[in-house]
Structure 1
Amino acid sequence: LTGIATVLTPLAAVGLVIVMVGAVVVHARAKEHPGTAVTVVLLVLAAIVAWGRFGPYPL
């Protein structure tokens, strides 16, 4: 929003994607299917942000 350290947004999104992949694995092993679904949605959203910020036309 302020334009300060804009490089941190995509890096944070990539870090969140890595954490969410681990969370999906943990939820799947525990057979927590609603938790897995919510985690996958959050994973996809973080991946979209990372792709949008690192992509050829950064937003």
Structure 2
Amino acid sequence: MSLRVPVDLDRRLEKLAAEEHTSKSALLLQGGGVGTATARTPTGDQRGFGFRDESRR
């Protein structure tokens, strides 16, 4: 998979990766893992009836 990020973000990732002695890819995977772990998912009746969580707008 290829991912294009804005130049400014790429520079910040490059700097952080050097400081943490890791790769930019590892940082992006870590961030993606955190984001998916904390994302709310529909439960119970919400799934069955297709309700949307309006608070996430």
Give your verdict on TM over 0.5: no
- Scaled by the length of structure 2, the TM-score of the pair is 0.32
Greater CA radius of gyration, 1 or 2?
Answer: 2
Q: Which has the higher contact order (CA 8 A, sep 6+)?
A: 1
Structure number with higher helix proportion: 1
- Scaled by the length of structure 1, the TM-score of the pair is 0.32
